[in-house]
């Protein structure tokens, strides 16, 4: 909704509300954007000075505000506050963000059949709550329907009337808009819920064609067509034309009830939503209020070789900054068990492979094989981390060699000690000698002399 700066003659404070912007002006007064002390925003309408001096208008206005207080529905703007005894009576309703149906169609063109049916179903539910409260709106038109993020909302109950009341027709209090008025309103007859059904049919026809079903012209011409000529529905989709034609019947008794209209529009909305013309309005209008959401389109994901290339590029972007070399996809893949060995003599058992003099076994990074979706093969290395495959077996072999060598050395030492022990510490005689406790030793016995 367009906002304008406050003019010099506009008030700055009305009741407990501070006014910020102009939202618009109509036959009854000016509508302002205001807020209370808690920051709640409202649409506040101040009655024109000439109407404020009319006591008959004040009495009718008081009855209308009293009737509007009884309305409870999700598709209407709730009445927040009103002052009927002020110098210029005013009332404030909940502020509804979003464009009007008139502005939406005027800027973006006619709506699709599914969208029109969804809007109509939500509005008919709102009218059902209004009529259950014993109130008739009497001025339902595209500019009084706001497409909020939570769904369409009916606003401007300033000229709403209690069911069965007669229309006041003196100058300055004409109600309704030419092209959307029901024939009984033009004649000055009593208004009923069927009066709003006629206006809703004309409003939905406008949403389908971007024009009133009774064309354009002066107020007198438009009112004459409403009473005496049939509505023009040439541009209305076939799915909606019969139902809208019944809503625009001249006789109120020939129009569908509010409940019947709501059910039939819901069926049309559900059926049309599956067609190519279905879809929600922009700006999220209608979310959570019966709008049919657009179906999700299938994703254009690549398949086959394109899918592999896409996965490879995505993996490289995700691992950007890694210093480890990556083979080009055009290179042939290296064998999975390739081992890089340094030149020189083979290492001996017991050397630490992590020291400069030792042998370092490192598996060469394998290229990404085709058909793996770009995933990199695992790189096996002996420098830290888990040691699967041949590296573990090599470590096991070294441990076995070390144990065997240790055992052999131990056995050799034990054998050497066993051979030397009898000659020196165990009293075992050498061959060819005789031990004696005195005298000279000789090879032939105690006390014998060498020959």
Query: How many other CB atoms are there within 10 angstroms of residue 18's CB atom?
Result: 15
For CA atoms 24, 25, 26, 31, give the dihedral sign: positive
Active-site positions read 139
- Residue that the structure tokens 């939406």 belong to: 104
Dihedral angle, C-alpha 175, 179, 185, 186, nearest 10 °: 100
For CA atoms 189, 263, 269, 73, give the dihedral sign: positive
Residues 84 and 62: beta-carbon distance below 8 Å:
yes
**Alpha-carbon distances of 162 from 60, 125, 200, 201, rounded to whole Å:** 10, 19, 18, 21
Look up residue 368 and give its two tokens. 């990404």
Residues 79 and 65: beta-carbon distance below 8 Å:
yes
> Under 8 Å CB-to-CB from 305, ≥6 apart: which residues?
none
Give the span between the Cα atoms of 35 and 247, in whole angstroms. 38
């Amino acid at each position: 909704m367009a906002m304008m700066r406050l003019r010099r003659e506009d008030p700055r404070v009305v009741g407990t509300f501070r006014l910020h912007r102009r939202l618009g002006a109509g036959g009854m007064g000016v509508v302002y954007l205001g807020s209370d002390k808690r920051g709640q925003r409202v649409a506040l309408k101040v009655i024109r000075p000439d109407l404020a001096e009319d006591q008959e208008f004040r009495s009718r206005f008081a009855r209308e505000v009293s009737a509007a207080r009884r309305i409870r529905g999700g598709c209407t703007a709730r009445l927040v506050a009103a002052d009927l005894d002020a110098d210029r009576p005013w009332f404030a309703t909940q502020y509804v963000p979003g464009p009007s149906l008139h502005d939406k169609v005027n800027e973006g063109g006619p709506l699709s059949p599914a969208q029109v049916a969804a809007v109509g179903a939500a509005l008919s539910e709102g009218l059902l709550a209004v009529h259950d409260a014993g109130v008739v709106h009497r001025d339902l038109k595209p500019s009084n329907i706001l497409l909020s993020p939570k769904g369409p909302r009916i606003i401007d109950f300033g000229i709403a009337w209690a069911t069965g009341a007669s229309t006041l027709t003196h100058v300055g209090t004409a109600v309704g808009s030419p092209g959307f008025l029901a024939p009984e309103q033009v004649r000055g007859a009593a208004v009923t819920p069927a009066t709003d059904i006629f206006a809703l049919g004309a409003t939905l026809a406008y949403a389908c064609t971007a024009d009133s079903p009774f064309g354009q012209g002066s107020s007198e011409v438009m009112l004459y067509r409403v009473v005496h000529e049939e509505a023009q529905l040439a541009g209305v989709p076939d799915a909606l034309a019969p139902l809208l034609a019944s809503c625009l019947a001249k006789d109120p008794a020939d129009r569908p009830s509010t409940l019947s209209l709501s059910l039939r529009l819901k069926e049309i909305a559900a059926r049309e939503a599956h067609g190519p013309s279905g879809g929600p309005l922009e700006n999220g209008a209608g979310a959570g209020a019966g709008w049919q959401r657009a179906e999700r389109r299938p994703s254009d994901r690549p398949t086959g070789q394109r899918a592999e290339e896409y996965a490879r590029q995505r993996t490289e972007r995700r691992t950007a900054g890694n210093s480890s070399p990556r083979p080009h996809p055009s290179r042939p893949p290296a064998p999975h068990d390739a081992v890089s060995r340094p030149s020189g003599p083979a290492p001996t058992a017991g050397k630490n492979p992590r020291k400069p003099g030792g042998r370092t076994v490192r598996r060469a990074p394998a290229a990404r094989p085709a058909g793996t979706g770009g995933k990199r093969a695992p790189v096996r290395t002996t420098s830290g981390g888990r040691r699967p495959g041949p590296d573990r077996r090599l470590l096991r072999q070294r441990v076995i060699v070390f144990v065997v060598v240790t055992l052999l050395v131990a056995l050799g030492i034990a054998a050497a000690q066993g051979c030397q022990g009898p000659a020196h510490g165990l009293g075992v005689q050498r061959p060819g000698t005789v031990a004696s406790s005195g005298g000279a030793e000789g090879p032939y016995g105690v006390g014998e002399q060498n020959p």
